[in-house]
Amino acid sequence: MSELPLLAEKLDAADELAPLRDRFVLDDVVYLDGNSLGALPAHVPGRIEDVVRRQWGELRIRSWEESGWWTAPERIGDRIAPLVGAAPGQIVVGDSTSVNVFKALVAAVRMAGEDRTEILVDATTFPTDGYIAESAARLTGRTLRAVTPAEVPGLLGDRTAAVLLNHVDYRTGRLHDLPGLTAAVHAAGALAVWDLCHSAGALPVGLDEHGVDLAVGCTYKYLNGGPGSPAYLYVRGALQDRFDSPLPGWNSHADPFGMSPAYTAAPGAPRGRVGTPDILSMLALEAALEVWDGVSLTAVRAKSLALTDFFLRCVAEYTAPGRTESVTPGRHEERGSQIALRCPDAGEVMKRLVERGVVGDFRHPDVLRFGFTPLYVGFRDTERAARILAEVLA
């Protein structure tokens, strides 16, 4: 009999993050899809009931001031800041990731100057980033070149305006070298824009430490903000007075209630705002972020790597050789917080896994994705998922 179930129990018993599981609404399902939609923090429904019944129902329009609705985008941005290694005053919450990619990339090109005529984009990126980059290139009169992150240093030059990269590849879970690539982009005189959707909340990012210019990210994956929760935009403090948003809405005006026909940008992070904030989902996110109180990102990263290592070990022991192939890098410095396995019948396999209480997801044409959220996934969950996967594959 395998020793892995007993080892899983021992690892769970020694896990300093294990008590955090009680902060979430969970059941007997092994939920390994937090890299698509994080689990519900248990206190969020009560908080949203207060927002709806009291703040909206009783205070109504007074809540813009009395309940802090107007300042929510910056306030919540400051809650996210330590999770991505940023000082306060550099992140604003609102809009979708796609909209924020557009704002960040066009603003980066404008800051780079007219003589820089090319944008580089991660060819393996999540599709929306590629779509937005293509549109931004057309609108700014630049050319667009799709390249792999590994090719970026060799293709940078004095024509490069901006480079848009994903920190973690959504399909394979590969972690790209944010410090090294950012330094290479800066050495060429260009600006670096990073998409943090699959890294924020799963591992340390270090935006300030590594001099990242602009970054965007969603909040419904490892940050557990809820379906469609608003994204965020990071603008490094030193660049904020030059940040020229392509979407200058009334919420980013220096005097939004002056109703002036002429636009004057607000100082600081509010320049990234556009229109009226989506208050209900934004305040659900604010409540959800409280699960991070007292949590060490170093511990989160250590557990993430331990979980993914353990999963690979279990899959190797339980599964017939050659039945699956990991496309996630084995080296820790190249791995995010998910494991992607290739198998020919991946779509059908995932359906059968879900039926048996193991929830991951399928990516066309042949990839099974399993996301490991250290705040609520344990080692027994991991062993069970690998064991059931082997039974389904058999």
Residues marked active site are found at 126, 195, 220-221, 369
What is the residue type of 161? A
d(CA 373, CA 34): 6
**Buried-state track 344-357, b at ≥16 Cβ within 10 A, e below 16:** eebeebbeebeebe
Joined together, the tokens standing for residue 255 give 């005097």
In the chain, how long is the greatest CA-to-CA distance? 75
Quickly count: other Cβ atoms within 10 Å of residue 232's Cβ. 32
Task: With CA atoms as reference, report the closest residue to 36 among 327, 328, 340.
Answer: 340
Residue with the two structure tokens 């979708």:
96
Phi and psi, residue 172, nearest 5°: -100, -20
Cα 166–172–177 angle (5° rounding)?
Answer: 40
CA atoms within 13 A on the CB side of 205: 29
d(CA 70, CA 26): 33
Spatial contact of 92 and 116, defined as CB atoms under 8 Å apart = no
- Region of 147 please: left (phi>0), alpha (psi -120 to 50) or beta: beta
Strand-pairing partners, residue 217, are 232
Residue with the two structure tokens 């480079």:
163
d(CA 356, CA 385): 10
DSSP 361-372: EEETTTEEEEE-
Cα 79–227–230 angle (5° rounding)?
Answer: 40
Instruction: Give Cα separations from 11 to 214, 377, 379, 383 (angstroms).
Output: 38, 12, 6, 11
Spatial contact of 31 and 39, defined as CB atoms under 8 Å apart = yes
